[in-house]
Amino acid sequence: MPQKDISVTRQGRSLAEQEHLRPQKNHIRPAVDIFETEQDLVLVADMPGVDKERLDINLERGILTLKGEIEASNHREPLFREFSLGGSYYRQFELSDVFDSNKTSAEFKNGVLTLTLAKSEAAKPRHIEIQH
C-alpha cells in the first residue's frame, strides 16, 4: 500500500478566497473522495446539476479550488423541495506542491468530477535496490 505522502488540508491563502470565510448562503460543499495510488492523487466530487462548461478547477500555489455553477432551474411551481437548484459549489484543498501539472486530467460524467493529479517524480515512492 502506498504511503500517505501528500498532505490534503483545506486552507486557502488569500482571505477572500478562503472557503470558510465565504458567505455560506448560496454555496454547497461538494462531498469528495480523495485517495492516493502509487502514481496519482485522485479526487472524486459529487456535483450534480453542474454543466461541464460551468465547472472551474484551479490549482494555484498548492491550493486546489473546485467551483461549479448550478444551472438555473426553470420556473415551475414548486410543491416540495429537498435540494436547491441554483447557487454554486465551492470547495478548496491545500495540496503540497508535488504534482506534475502537465499530467493532470479531469473527467466529468453524470454529475461526478474525477480529477487525477500525477505525482511528480520526486514525490513518487522509490525503491532502492541493495547491491550485493
| Residue count, binding to other proteins (CB under 8 A) | 42
Burial 98-116 (b: 16+ CB within 10 A, else e): bbbeeeeeeebeeeebebb
Among 16, 23, 102, 110, binds other proteins (CB under 8 A): 110
Using CB under 8 A as the binding rule, whether residue 107 contacts other proteins is answered as: no
SS3 20: helix
Based on the shown chain and the rule CB under 8 A, indicate whether residue 123 belongs to the binding site for other proteins: no
The reply to whether 2 sits near other proteins by the rule CB under 8 A is: yes
The binder of other proteins chosen from 11, 13, 14, 35 (CB under 8 A) = 35
Residue 84 DSSP label: -
* Grid cell at residue 132: 550485493
Residue 36 binds to other proteins (criterion: CB under 8 A): yes
- Does position 112 interact with other proteins (CB under 8 A)? The reply is yes
7 exposure class (CB count in 10 Å sphere: 0-12, 13-18, 19+): exposed
CA atoms within 13 A on the CB side of 2: 15
Q: Does 8 bind other proteins (CB under 8 A)?
A: yes
Point out which residues bind other proteins (CB under 8 A): 1-4, 6, 8, 24-25, 27-37, 44, 46-52, 71, 76-85, 109-112
